[in-house]
Chain A
């Protein structure tokens, strides 16, 4: 072993990724299209923007490490099918989109209490920079504090800092049992207090839904507790959600104004609310905008990556 040994992580030799970097090129406005499930989020794409497609395919799945290396253009559904065959899943939301799209949009699965938050799923990212270079950050292990955490910066960035080519994601085991319960009139706050770690608690003002997961006996025990705070029955799954997403604090979400939100389903303990009315534009602190704008111009001096989109205007 010599000192000159370099890490196998250093440079990607995958020609598929190199081809993507070439597609992105070094000049002119460019954006990646994934499943277009949240295409309008953060502002309309500037006119004349060239659209490219990220490469797809599962490159290296290691169930025994609970990690998977996958190209950004792969659909979340395809990945989850592959993982499910080995009894695993990720924290990415399943709604018809791609891995890269889910990451740059940055929205959690509504069951994030059980599946983990999206931002904690991304371990390593390879992206094409505004200069057309392949940049790597993070690492393949489940624990890593080597250098600045650019994967965190990419999640929710709407592709404004770099265009994701390939990622390594954390997977986690699918519990032995997953079961949904529903009751009318149960106090969602009391439900949250009664349970140790529900995967999801939902409420629409009339009914409360709970997803319990784990070993069968544990789910039975938690279901018994659940029945002390409401007449919960087993149901097939959650209700359907109204189209608009509100981001509130968990406390605010328990006291929402029906007149403002219209029909709604609250994800209790998370602060997410799905409502028939859209959330008014939230403002961002001016001093945070200064830092964010400086980061944007450091990463993309000519503003060519996803022009028109702004993560602060999601």
Chain B
């Protein structure tokens, strides 16, 4: 018996040939430190189109102390660290560069406490976004950010990306819903950023940590704000003969001083794909549909829904439909939320872009985007968070066709240029990651980027946490070329 135990133990602690991996196995447990080719390959990618990642060991900590131990060991052994949630990011933010240890927080997935007095819930970073909202439902609350990936993405990932979603129009993105964060700093120290008090003293380190794409440390606990469920909801589906009419309706609604809970536009190519996929009840003959939702108290939602319908008709809406039941509303939203799944029917590959433009510029920029598609001989569909001007042009293609990737990237560059020219920004919710580093200089001067880097180095002077992201090459912590190549001595 004793001999058997010893044997089993000795098998598990077999040395990997790398003292760092052995040290990690000693600090966690051997089965939660993965170093095989399959694990490393899987964790070298995220949901983005970017290749070039190279994962070192993948660890699955279960406590803050274990995350801290991993970070301290990485410091001792002079290795980099990349945090990871569900890997649903679209900008390559979780792609490991330079064979770092990948810290997957998916086992830290407990909702720890619901505190209605302070209107927060304490959660671990691996909790899935939709699971949290389902967990809060019986208490009359929800977590407001609702990215399209909410069935799989984690709260830790939402914090890293300052995630949005359709309902962030009225309620704000993740930063507005994160009150405090327990974080393991790059030094290995554990700190609480922000706090439950009205106005935590000192610099707002919580505020800059949210959206820092995993470059400033690793989130281990989050106090998220509870949002009271609204008693009344009205969901409208407006049909239009042109995409511009839909876009003009959106800016007309905002100009009228109405901030709906959500305003989403889908063009005809998307609605047709969605209809084939889930039968959401979208009209097939409309050039675009606008899904608008208002929530709150009974009288106010009726007033706002009527005004939105009126503004839609004034902008040429060919039909206005009010969801008559919760079931009908759920189906309309199912269509929106499964839009990207529906695309798989049309072509094997897609590249989803993410820029923001002023709402009054929506119609013009959309026209330009369709022209860009024609110019590069590509199919582009549009499904987007119209209410806050957040465009999501979706380029559909088949990567097996020769030369198509070059055209896809060229079209992407043109979309970014068109958005910036209209007074917009590089990203509304997907982040910069590795995808848009090269474009940062179009939006920021060298001095602007230098200051962003000063913040980053304030947290991570050794550039050890998720290096090679956000800030373009030429600034420290961003030397991508050397990170893309795996150093010879490390897990070659």
- Give the interface of A toward B (CB within 8 A): 1-3, 5-11, 62-66, 87-88, 106-108, 117, 119-120, 129, 133-137, 139-150, 152-153, 155-157, 161-162, 172-173, 189, 196-197, 214-215, 217-218, 221-222, 247-254, 267, 269-272, 282, 284-285, 287-292, 294-295, 298-299, 311-314
Could you tell me the distance between the alpha carbons of A147 and B437 in the complex, rounded to whole angstroms?
A: 9
Tell me if A314 and B201 are in contact (CB < 8 A): yes
Could you tell me the distance between the alpha carbons of A155 and B164 in the complex, rounded to whole angstroms?
A: 22
Tell me if A1 and B417 are in contact (CB < 8 A): yes
Could you tell me the distance between the alpha carbons of A135 and B429 in the complex, rounded to whole angstroms?
A: 23
For the A-B complex, the count of residue pairs with Cβ-Cβ distances under 8 Å equals 284
B374 on the A face (CB < 8 A): no
B423: chain A residues within 8 A (beta carbon): 8-9, 140-141
Tell me if A284 and B470 are in contact (CB < 8 A): no
A96 CB → nearest B CB, Å: 19
Tell me if A148 and B191 are in contact (CB < 8 A): no
Spot the interface stretch: B51-59, B105-113, B204-212. Answer: B204-212
Tell me if B203 and A141 are in contact (CB < 8 A): no
B389: chain A residues within 8 A (beta carbon): 141-143
Tell me if B425 and A291 are in contact (CB < 8 A): no
B328 CB → nearest A CB, Å: 24
A8: chain B residues within 8 A (beta carbon): 420-421, 423
C-beta contact mask, B420-463 vs A, less than 8 Å → 1, else 0? 11011111111110001000101111011101101111110100
B297: chain A residues within 8 A (beta carbon): 196, 214-215, 217-218, 221-222
B378 on the A face (CB < 8 A): no
Tell me if A63 and B299 are in contact (CB < 8 A): no
- Which residue of B197, B251, B254, B418 has the most chain A CB atoms within 10 A of its CB atom? B197
Tell me if A269 and B208 are in contact (CB < 8 A): no
Q: Given that A6-B442, A9-B420, A311-B202 are contacting pairs, would A145 and B427 also be in contact in the complex, using a CB cutoff of 8 Å?
A: yes
B344 on the A face (CB < 8 A): no
Tell me if A215 and B299 are in contact (CB < 8 A): yes
Contact of A149 among B210, B299, B425 (CB under 8 A): B210
Could you tell me the distance between the alpha carbons of A173 and B256 in the complex, rounded to whole angstroms?
A: 9
Tell me if A287 and B207 are in contact (CB < 8 A): no
B138 on the A face (CB < 8 A): no
Q: Given that A7-B442, A120-B176, A143-B428 are contacting pairs, would A247 and B458 also be in contact in the complex, using a CB cutoff of 8 Å?
A: no
Tell me if A294 and B197 are in contact (CB < 8 A): no
Q: Can you list the 8 inter-chain pairs with the closest CB atoms, starting with the nearest?
A: A152-B207, A217-B299, A295-B458, A64-B255, A271-B198, A173-B257, A298-B454, A139-B425
Could you tell me the distance between the alpha carbons of A279 and B291 in the complex, rounded to whole angstroms?
A: 49
Extra contacts besides A218-B297, A288-B192 (10): CB < 8 Å = A1-B421, A129-B447, A149-B207, A149-B211, A150-B208, A197-B228, A247-B201, A267-B198, A271-B198, A291-B185
- Give the interface of B toward A (CB within 8 A): 115, 117-119, 161-162, 164, 168, 172-173, 175-176, 185, 187, 189-193, 195-205, 207-208, 210-212, 228, 230-231, 251, 254-255, 257-259, 296-300, 303-304, 356-360, 385, 388-390, 413-414, 417-418, 420-421, 423-432, 436, 440, 442-445, 447-449, 451-452, 454-459, 461, 470-471
B205: chain A residues within 8 A (beta carbon): 288, 291-292
A250: chain B residues within 8 A (beta carbon): 117-119, 196, 198
A153: chain B residues within 8 A (beta carbon): 203-204, 207-208, 455
Q: Given that A173-B258, A288-B193, A314-B201 are contacting pairs, would A146 and B443 also be in contact in the complex, using a CB cutoff of 8 Å?
A: yes
Q: Given that A148-B456, A156-B204, A218-B297 are contacting pairs, would A251 and B428 also be in contact in the complex, using a CB cutoff of 8 Å?
A: no
Tell me if A144 and B259 are in contact (CB < 8 A): no
Could you tell me the distance between the alpha carbons of A311 and B210 in the complex, rounded to whole angstroms?
A: 20
Tell me if B118 and A249 are in contact (CB < 8 A): yes
Could you tell me the distance between the alpha carbons of A139 and B172 in the complex, rounded to whole angstroms?
A: 16
Contact of B455 among A3, A117, A150 (CB under 8 A): A150
B41 CB → nearest A CB, Å: 29
B207: chain A residues within 8 A (beta carbon): 119, 149, 152-153, 155
Nearest neighbor of A126 in chain B, beta-carbon distance:
B448
A205 CB → nearest B CB, Å: 18
Tell me if B445 and A11 are in contact (CB < 8 A): yes
Could you tell me the distance between the alpha carbons of A254 and B115 in the complex, rounded to whole angstroms?
A: 14
Tell me if B452 and A137 are in contact (CB < 8 A): yes
Q: Given that A88-B257, A292-B202 are contacting pairs, would A196 and B228 also be in contact in the complex, using a CB cutoff of 8 Å?
A: yes
Contact of B208 among A108, A148, A189, A288 (CB under 8 A): A148
B251 CB → nearest A CB, Å: 6
Contact of A87 among B251, B257, B304, B442 (CB under 8 A): B257
Contact of A140 among B162, B358, B470 (CB under 8 A): B358
Tell me if A145 and B198 are in contact (CB < 8 A): no
